[in-house]
Every structure is written in C-alpha cells, then in structure tokens.
Structure 1
Amino acid sequence: MRKLLPAALLALTGCALLRISLLSDLYLRYVKEGLRPLLIVSGVVLVLLALLAVLRVRHHDGGAEAVDHGHTHAAAGPRTAWLLAIPAVMLLLFAPPALGSYTVARDGSGAVAKRTTFAALPARSPLALSLADFTSRAVWDEKGSLRGRTVELTGFVTPHGSGSWQLSRVIVSCCAADARVLKVEIHGLAAPPGDSWVTVTGTWRPDAKVPALDATGLDRIPRPKNPYRDVARPRP
C-alpha cells in the first residue's frame, strides 16, 4: 500500500487543480484569469502521472526496492514531500477566500500608480470610475479633474480606526503573492460589515492627505466573479 502513496499525492494535487480551474472559478481567488488553461493542463498531467505510477507498481511488483549491505530500502521519496498533500486537501475540501480586508489592514502603503497625463472625463453624472483611476487622479492630477464631480466607486469594506472605513481593492499582476492594495477613505456614511462589497457615490475630498470621498450614497452588491479585477461598475 505504501508504494501507491506517491501516486495518491499526484492524484490529490491534480484533482485539486482541476476542481478550482476546470470545475469552478475558484482559481480567480489566487491567480489572474489568463492562467486558467495552464492550471487545467497541469491538473490533467498530474492525474495522468498518478495513473501511470499505479500501473508501474502493479506491473513491476513495486520494483523500487534495492538491497544495500544486507538491508532492504524502499525507494520512497522524502517524507517532507507529504506536506504537499496539505494544500491539495484544503483545495479539495474547502477553498480559502480571496484576499480582503485582513490584507488591506496590514498594508501600510496603498498603491497609487504615478501618472502624468489624464484623459478628459465623460460628462455623465454620477461617473463610474475604477479605484486605480480615482486614486491616481486624486494624487497626481494637477488639473483637479475630480473636483466637483460626483463619482461611483466599487470595492470591499475595510474597517479603519474608530468609526472610519476604507473602500478597498486588491489587484494582482500574476497571482495573489504579488498583490497590491488600493484604498479610498470614506467619509459621511457608517461603515457596512467588513469585507462586504459596495458601490459608493460621492465627491472627491481634495484637502485630504490620502485619496478620500465624501459619500452621499451606498449600494450593497454581490462579490464579483473576479475580485482582483479593478473595473468601474457598469451602468445599466
């Protein structure tokens, strides 16, 4: 039975990858959308390798034993390899959530991409903006294109200090390991529950030290399919 354990580990890992990438959209909690084909191929390859390992054991009578100085040694891999089974089982049984307010609360930066040019904003009101566009305009736009404009921002709630809160997004370039945080201080409205997704309507607060919004309205929305994709809420 021990001879089949490496095959079981391969099968567990492969099935876990297929569960989050082929049978669901859970992979979007960990990597960007374009990596889905690679995850599916990897899962299939690991399952096939597991099947080949089982066939090899059956046809060669486990022939991975060698005799050295009168002792028999099994050709098993290092015991630490079994640590790989832990994340595989976790993905099969329950998927850890996407990064949220816990990550934001422990990030001291609040990434704001530096820009030198900004396209003219459409005349419609309220104007739906991504958090990346809003924060970069709030910090770097010397012409103050946000001044006096009513905007809509979408993200999740991060409690911040006593009675204050932030509208946040976590953006990834490749996977959750390279995540960067966007956040906007919200003033004028009570904080909804942490990690709830909302669209906030309001106006830019130009005298704030960080990107901030004086909020006038709030809508609770479902969690997006891809929580790491920072896009403006589409207008109906």
Structure 2
Amino acid sequence: MLLLLGAALGYAGLTDLYLRYVKAGLQPLLLVAGGVLIVAAVATIWFERRRPRAAGEGAEQEHREHEHHEHEHREPRIAWLLVLPLLALIFVAPPPPGSYAAMRDGTALQQPWDLSALPADDPVPLGLVDYAGRAAYDHGRSLGDRRITTSGFISLDESGAPYLVRMVLNCCAADARPVKVGLTGRIPPILQPDTWYEITGVHTDRQAADPINNGVIPYIDVMEARPVPAPDDQYDSAS
C-alpha cells in the first residue's frame, strides 16, 4: 500500500493531475512525500526478505509453527479494497469547482499587497484576482485607462447577470473560493456557465456587493470577449 500510494503521489506530481487537488506551489512537497513513501515501502520489503531463516529440525519446526501462527493472523484480503481510492486518485480525478459552486459562495477577494506599476504592454495581461484587487481596493488608480486582458469562467446569477470568475486556493481544492468580476459593456449575447473567456476591457468605477457575504465585486467594461480553452491550472492563489 505504501508503494502504491507513493507511486500515485509521484504520478500526480509529475503530471498536471496534482493541480486538481493542491495549488501549483505545493508540487515539490507532493513529490517529496511520494518519494518518502516509496523509500519506506522498499525498505520494509528489504527488511522482510532479510529475516534470517532458522536451521535444523528444532529451528525448522519452530519456524513452521511461527509461520502457522502468522497465517492465522494474516490481514483479510478485503483490505486490498483500500487500493480503490488510489486508483480513483489517478483515473477519476474530480473536476475543479465551477459556476455552481462559485455562485453559492461569497467572494474571497482581499486587499492586495502588491500594487506595482503595470508593464508597458497594450493590452496588459493581468490575472483576474490582481485586476479585481486593484479595481476594488485601489479604486482603479493603478489601472488608469489601460486596456486589460484577463480570463476566467462564466457564472450567471439568478437574474442572468454574467460574472467572470476564478477560484482561489489557500492550500488545496477543499478550500477553493471564488473571486468574481462583473461584466458590462460589449458582452456577448449568449454566455454559457463554465465556459472560459478571455476578456479585454478597461476599468470602470462600477461595483456591487456580493449578496452572500457583502464582499466587493468590481466590474470590467468589456471591449472584446472570446472563448478560450480551460487552462491546465484553473486555480489562482489567494492574496
């Protein structure tokens, strides 16, 4: 079991699978944990095989009695069903939470620590959480009238109003919470929930209060919107 669990952690850490469970920065720790489990499993097998064998009739008889005693107390075969969660880890990885979860949880937007000057690109590529923090807590001063390009998945509230959302992590997928940005301006007429979009637009002073936790939801004035494939890492890190 140790060997299988270590191999599963190693496989997840060496592929994009681990991004379904933890944030990207924890990949080294995940690989180290998998390596430790594999080493522990190999060491256990090695020590078991090095047990000295008894010699002579008396020793052989004692050995047979000992084996019989061990056989009587051997773990039930049903214990191998513990392998199933490991197989599920590899073959049935859960999808990241989407619009259903996002619209049933309050925004996790927090005041940003870094409000450094934007690069000279036009439009400026900016993470959704970064844009939302600057728009909500810096009142757009660091954004000015610059064109911004950001991305996220679409969520619709009960009235059908669209939001661009990214789920943020403190540690793992179990604590994922949404950061929402409202859309105004040239919004596509038909938006499907959970569809990923790249939005190019400019800051607007418009804001709203999240009805769930009264958190700030900033808006972006959309100039262009195009659907894009979902990224490998669909989470962002909490500020």
Query: Is 2:140–2:203's contact at 8 Å kept on the other side of the alignment?
Result: no
Corresponding position: 1:221 with 2:220: no
Moved more, 110-119 or 172-181: 110-119
Corresponding position: 1:130 with 2:131: no
Q: 2:4 aligns to what?
A: 12
Q: 1:36 aligns to what?
A: 27
Are the structure 2 counterparts of residues 84 and 113 from structure 1 closer, same or farther at C-alpha, using a change threshold of 3 Å?
A: farther
SS at match of 1:134: helix
Query: Is 2:140–2:205's contact at 8 Å kept on the other side of the alignment?
Result: no
TM-superposed CA distance for 1:53, in Å, is: 4.8
Moved more, 13-22 or 33-42: 33-42
Are the structure 2 counterparts of residues 38 and 207 from structure 1 closer, same or farther at C-alpha, using a change threshold of 3 Å?
A: closer
Structure 1 residues 84-133: Cα deviation after superposition (integer angstroms, max 9, x where no partner): 5443121132222223323312212x122225884444565433222222
**Matched letter for residue 184 of structure 1:** V
SS at match of 1:106: coil
Q: TM-score, normalised by structure 2?
A: 0.70
**Matched letter for residue 161 of structure 1:** E
Moved more, 144-153 or 93-102: 144-153
Q: 1:90 aligns to what?
A: 88
SS at match of 2:33: helix
Are the structure 2 counterparts of residues 65 and 37 from structure 1 closer, same or farther at C-alpha, using a change threshold of 3 Å?
A: farther
Please show how residues 124-163 of structure 1 align to structure 2 within 5 Å: 124-142=121-139, 144-146=141-143, 148-163=145-160
Q: Distance in 1 between matches of 2:140 and 2:228?
A: 32
Q: Distance in 1 between matches of 2:129 and 2:229?
A: 20
**Matched letter for residue 27 of structure 1:** Y
Q: Distance in 2 between matches of 1:116 and 1:26?
A: 30
**Matched letter for residue 192 of structure 1:** L
Q: Distance in 2 between matches of 1:162 and 1:138?
A: 24
Structure 1: runs of 5 or more not aligned: 1-8, 67-71, 231-236
Q: 2:205 aligns to what?
A: 206
**Matched letter for residue 90 of structure 1:** A
Structure 1 residues 119-173: Cα deviation after superposition (integer angstroms, max 9, x where no partner): 4445654332222222122222257444544322211222322332211111223
Q: Distance in 2 between matches of 1:91 and 1:64?
A: 37
SS at match of 1:208: strand
**Matched letter for residue 196 of structure 2:** W
Structure 2: runs of 5 or more not aligned: 52-62, 209-216
Q: Percent identity?
A: 38
Q: 2:189 aligns to what?
A: 190
Total equivalences in the alignment = 213
Moved more, 137-146 or 163-172: 137-146
**Matched letter for residue 21 of structure 2:** Y
Query: Is 2:129–2:179's contact at 8 Å kept on the other side of the alignment?
Result: yes
